[in-house]
Structure 1
Amino acid sequence: MSSSTSSSRASAGTHLSATRASPVWVLLSVCLAALAMPLSFTGPAVALPALREALGGGPLALNWVTNAFMLSFGATLMAAGALADVHGRRRVFLWGLAIVGASALAQACLQGHGAIVGFDLLRALQGLGAAAALAAGTAGLAQVYDAGQRTRAFSLVGTSFGVGLALGPLLSGWLLEAVGWRGVVLSAGVVALAALVLGRRCMPESRNPQAQRLDVPGALWFTLALALLTWGVLQAPEAGWAHARTLLPLAAALLAAAAFVRVERRSPHPMLDLSLFRYPRFVGVQLLAAAPAYAFVVLLVLLPVRFIGVEGMAPLGAGRLMFVLSLPMLFVPLLAGWLTRWLSAALLCAAGLLVCAAGLLWLGRCAPGAGLAQMGAPLALIGLGIGLPWGLMDGLAVSVVPRERAGMATGIFSTVRVAGEGIALAVVGAALAVLLARELALVSPSLVSGLSEAAQMLVTGNMDGALGLLPGAAMAQVLQAYGRAFSTLLDLLAGITLVTAVSVFAFLRAGADMPHA
């Protein structure tokens, strides 16, 4: 880069260290970090039945295998972006990757029944590292590319995330059969280590000299609200929605959210600039960020559990089906960027969500035991549909905040996306448990207690445990009940996706007054 470019960036409010390297190597480092994130997320979902056998744990503890990572990841992204702006994006990026790798190694060292609690805690720690790496890495990347090149660079980051989603289940299935669950959890650590080594050599340090210290009260209230919300939702299938064990944490989550809004309104330097929600385009981008959570991401957890734990499919076979779901993520995001030459982002995003909704409805018609011939087309349709907005989201998000506030820009967008995924996983899992309990009551009408527990076991892929709680019920009957509940769930998700498509189109089209960087 030229010295004139460097000086102009310094005057814009960003200081770069003297270390220089080609932006391409910085991009590669951030892309590797982005690749590690979905491996951290999808791998344990594929390995969940094996984790249950090796480390023990009931349905609630097994639910936290995924939710602990997503909760800490989503809850700390904005704080990580603010820390990166103040203390240096390179520094926070490298520390985040180190935490991801170290926590993966520690997870692989656990053994013995009862160790699932330690595994969940390490997953939460891994989520913290992932938040630091993603927020700081993308903010640092924004400093080494100019406006026109930045959109293409972020598109490649999104594509790298898509590669992880596409190949992650297949890789995890192969590792699970070849070396066991430890190989699955270590895979993300290996990729994070590669990103760390490259980032340490090539990423220049940058920070925002106008950035203020971390908004600690806001960060704490936000994290507390998300944690209580997730805890309350996960309690619902076992205790019931009207039980105090569910209502108390949900009410406390509402109070914590209100306290967060109040703190942010009064703070001179808030973690989240709430005034941005006055602009339609900003609201549309946030709706778009949340859409993949219930239209696509929840399937990355629910389907491997269904294929392996409920239907008894081999891990590699389940990985092949999941690869069909995620395969479009390898090329559709790039195709979406190319199509913007002729079509608006609003139209492409809405069209993609409509296609995704159609795929969800179609998948809901596939009964348990259906193979690739029946499920391949709807799975590919879902991946194709979600790939269109996926390729445009990051570019749209970066455009809503000036470049010197890149940490906040990526933090807000990524927080909505990842926090939405964590909440969606908890809510959808709880909804599936409720639907399963209703269907299982038809299979065992004389059974008064145990239905909720059996339903939760099926949600976590424990077919044998569920059959043990359903005396007289045949496996074929339980599979049929599972199929009906899963079909109803997918119909609901398709309806939500349809409403989101219409809303996103309306908000993005109404965004002419949105401020630009």
Structure 2
Amino acid sequence: MDTNLPAASPEQGPAPARRALVLAAVCLAALCMPLSFTGPAIAIPAIAAELRGSPLALAWITNAFMLSFGGCLMAAGALADRYGRKRVFLMGMSVFSAAALALAAAPSIVLLDVLRAVQGLGCAMALSSGLAALAQEFDGPARARAFSLIGTAFGIGLAFGPFLAGVLIARTGWRAIFIVAAGAGLAALLAAARAMRESRDPQARGVDWPGALTFTGALSLFTYGLLQAPDSGWSSAASLGLFGGAALLLAAFIYVERRAARPMLDLSLFRLPAFAGVQLLAAAPAFSFVVLLVLLPARFIGIEGYSAFDAGRMMIALSAPMLVLPMLAGLAAQRIAAAHICASGLLLAAGGLLWLSMCAPGLPAATLLGPLLLIGCGISLPWGLMDGLAISVVPVERAGMAAGIFNTTRVAGEGLALAIVSALLGTLTVAALGKVPGIAAQQASLAAPFLALGELRHAGELLPQAGAAELAQAYGTAFRHLLYVLASITTASALLILAFLRHPAGSPSAESTSTLPACNTST
């Protein structure tokens, strides 16, 4: 059992007010994550115009944050359990805010990428420790309401982060995005310093450093290989070396975890079909929703010619359903199997992706609203149920580890999905440019990475024989084929989730795994 310091001291204030301040601090930390993800995605064209940089360096603006965040979540949680949740939360918010302020003054794209990785580390420390601290402050229905507010804060960041970024870019420039993030982080830091009590797990034995390092190393090498493969070639020595190194580190990670007394990742949990299904559910939104938060702003600004403000406003259609539908899905799960709700939502999202594939660049903005809303509505249904399912499909004594694995799968999956989809779009763009008359294969390989990022002007400089309309058409062809792939992945995920989470209440298979029935679980 966790230990806490005694009740709040007089200077901390009455318990209800103090707990409200703790909740506000963790909600601000939860808000910082989507703001730090969606805001820079809108800002990439503006950053590229000022700092330049290769397509690979520009891709790392998003991927460095997601990779660091996802790769450090479990290790950060272990540090918080051993050394104190408040201490790690304050340290995490300090790192996050300092990195955000430094990002606002970054003079080069390389330094900006490095600072984004540092920012992701701070976010991982703050979020993992903040959620653990919050669980110590609230019990029963109050805890459920507190965590629902965390989800709402996350949804607000997703829904309005692009719009806020667009407003800031239009009025003051892209650097203001990081100043606002730093301000939110400092507010969370001050609130937690005043109100949060220290707590820790007396049974914690420290961080599984061999597991943490091999896991993060494998994730980093694989992501780097995916990002640079379209440029150097999938069969090049550099690509094969990176993928081979990632495979070796993954094998080392599995070896270490199977022999550790207290592993960072209990691999035996994956023997439970429902647990494996929940991990698939954690990763599925990455391919149907999260990647669009990066790809669509690049298309809107670079290819369609929208301003940053208009692009941010368009993204509201994709993310706004997150504010309402997850709560409605939780209510519906009291009568309808949660697995059916999740699968239905993913199928709706797949339909939205296919609908979006019919919207070529140059069409009126109003034609995009329907598919964007359908994708947002579809992905919002499983979004409200995933966290509850994550801990319901394992024995209660493993709930903490299950939650940590689930969040790591979700965030790391998002980072990997971004890298995979970026590489795939680059490859599809090379193929599309190769069909344009007068463009040689070598020219297509040089220009495709820029065009895939929405850098139509830069691609045009490399391909002076092709007009802007031809380049936009080639991008549209590649984007359409990419959406076909994303819709297929989303559909397959829905069917697999139904298969893994199919066991009804009281069935022998459900009883044998000592799990709660996922198909009858609500948030």
Q: What TM-score do you get using the length of structure 2 for normalisation? A: 0.93
Deviation at 1:53, TM superposition (A): 1.8
Further displaced range: 472-481 or 191-200: 191-200
Distance 1:275 1:148, change over 3 A: farther
- 8 Å CA contact retained: 2:438, 2:465: no
- 8 Å CA contact retained: 2:425, 2:452: yes
> Are residue 37 (structure 1) and residue 33 (structure 2) matched?
yes
Q: In 1, distance between residues paired with 2:501 and 2:295?
A: 31
- 8 Å CA contact retained: 2:40, 2:62: yes
User: Which of 250, 253, 264 is the equivalent residue of 1:260?
Assistant: 253
- 8 Å CA contact retained: 1:364, 1:490: yes
Distance 1:164 1:308, change over 3 A: same
Q: For residue 372 of structure 1, what is the aligned residue in structure 2?
A: 365
Q: In 1, distance between residues paired with 2:298 and 2:485?
A: 19
Partner SS state of residue 104, structure 1: helix
Q: For residue 512 of structure 1, what is the aligned residue in structure 2?
A: 510
> Are residue 58 (structure 1) and residue 54 (structure 2) matched?
yes
Q: In 2, distance between residues paired with 1:186 and 1:405?
A: 39
Instruction: Tell me the matched-pair count.
Output: 502
After TM superposition, the structure 1 = structure 2 runs for residues 191-210 of structure 1, keeping only pairs within 5 Å, are 191-210=184-203
Deviation at 1:463, TM superposition (A): 1.0
Q: Give the residue type in structure 2 aligned to 1:512.
A: A
> Are residue 104 (structure 1) and residue 100 (structure 2) matched?
yes
Deviation at 1:516, TM superposition (A): 5.3
Deviation at 1:105, TM superposition (A): 0.2
Q: For residue 174 of structure 2, what is the aligned residue in structure 1?
A: 181
Partner SS state of residue 450, structure 1: helix
Deviation at 1:481, TM superposition (A): 1.0
Deviation at 1:88, TM superposition (A): 1.0
Deviation at 1:508, TM superposition (A): 1.9
Q: For residue 16 of structure 1, what is the aligned residue in structure 2?
A: 4
Partner SS state of residue 212, structure 1: coil
Partner SS state of residue 93, structure 1: helix
Provide structure 1 residue ranges, at least 5 long, that are not aligned to the other structure.
1-12
Q: For residue 320 of structure 2, what is the aligned residue in structure 1?
A: 327
Q: For 1:77-106, what per-residue CA distance to the aligned partner results, in whole angstroms no more than 9, with x for missing partners?
A: 010111111111111112111111110000
After TM superposition, the structure 1 = structure 2 runs for residues 326-345 of structure 1, keeping only pairs within 5 Å, are 326-345=319-338
Q: Give the residue type in structure 2 aligned to 1:97.
A: M
Distance 1:365 1:334, change over 3 A: same
Q: In 2, distance between residues paired with 1:110 and 1:49?
A: 16
After TM superposition, the structure 1 = structure 2 runs for residues 473-492 of structure 1, keeping only pairs within 5 Å, are 473-492=466-485
Q: In 2, distance between residues paired with 1:461 and 1:193?
A: 34
Q: For residue 165 of structure 2, what is the aligned residue in structure 1?
A: 172
Q: Give the residue type in structure 1 aligned to 2:4.
A: L
Deviation at 1:203, TM superposition (A): 2.0
> Are residue 453 (structure 1) and residue 446 (structure 2) matched?
yes
Deviation at 1:312, TM superposition (A): 1.7
Further displaced range: 20-29 or 285-294: 20-29
Distance 1:516 1:27, change over 3 A: farther
Q: For 1:445-483, what per-residue CA distance to the aligned partner results, in whole angstroms no more than 9, with x for missing partners?
A: 441312122110012221111011213111111111111
Q: For residue 506 of structure 2, what is the aligned residue in structure 1?
A: none
Q: In 2, distance between residues paired with 1:450 and 1:240?
A: 14
Partner SS state of residue 449, structure 1: helix
Q: For residue 294 of structure 2, what is the aligned residue in structure 1?
A: 301
Q: For residue 6 of structure 1, what is the aligned residue in structure 2?
A: none
- 8 Å CA contact retained: 2:106, 2:112: yes
Partner SS state of residue 376, structure 1: helix
After TM superposition, the structure 1 = structure 2 runs for residues 411-450 of structure 1, keeping only pairs within 5 Å, are 411-450=404-443
Q: In 1, distance between residues paired with 2:336 and 2:395?
A: 25
Distance 1:409 1:150, change over 3 A: farther
Deviation at 1:413, TM superposition (A): 1.2
Q: In 1, distance between residues paired with 2:391 and 2:30?
A: 16
Deviation at 1:405, TM superposition (A): 6.4
Provide structure 2 residue ranges, at least 5 long, that are not aligned to the other structure.
9-14, 504-508, 517-523
Q: Give the residue type in structure 2 aligned to 1:300.
A: L
Deviation at 1:55, TM superposition (A): 1.7
Q: For 1:380-412, what per-residue CA distance to the aligned partner results, in whole angstroms no more than 9, with x for missing partners?
A: 111101111111112222445677766534321
> Are residue 83 (structure 1) and residue 79 (structure 2) matched?
yes
Q: What TM-score do you get using the length of structure 1 for normalisation? A: 0.94
Distance 1:371 1:192, change over 3 A: farther
> Are residue 46 (structure 1) and residue 31 (structure 2) matched?
no
> Are residue 139 (structure 1) and residue 132 (structure 2) matched?
yes
> Are residue 274 (structure 1) and residue 262 (structure 2) matched?
no
Q: Give the residue type in structure 2 aligned to 1:429.
A: S
Q: In 2, distance between residues paired with 1:406 and 1:90?
A: 21
After TM superposition, the structure 1 = structure 2 runs for residues 345-360 of structure 1, keeping only pairs within 5 Å, are 345-360=338-353
Further displaced range: 458-467 or 172-181: 458-467
Q: In 1, distance between residues paired with 2:274 and 2:31?
A: 28
Q: In 2, distance between residues paired with 1:280 and 1:146?
A: 30
Distance 1:489 1:436, change over 3 A: same
Greater length-normalized contact order (CA 8 Å, ≥ 6 residues apart): 1
- 8 Å CA contact retained: 2:429, 2:474: yes
After TM superposition, the structure 1 = structure 2 runs for residues 388-407 of structure 1, keeping only pairs within 5 Å, are 388-400=381-393
Q: In 1, distance between residues paired with 2:395 and 2:180?
A: 36
Further displaced range: 117-126 or 386-395: 386-395
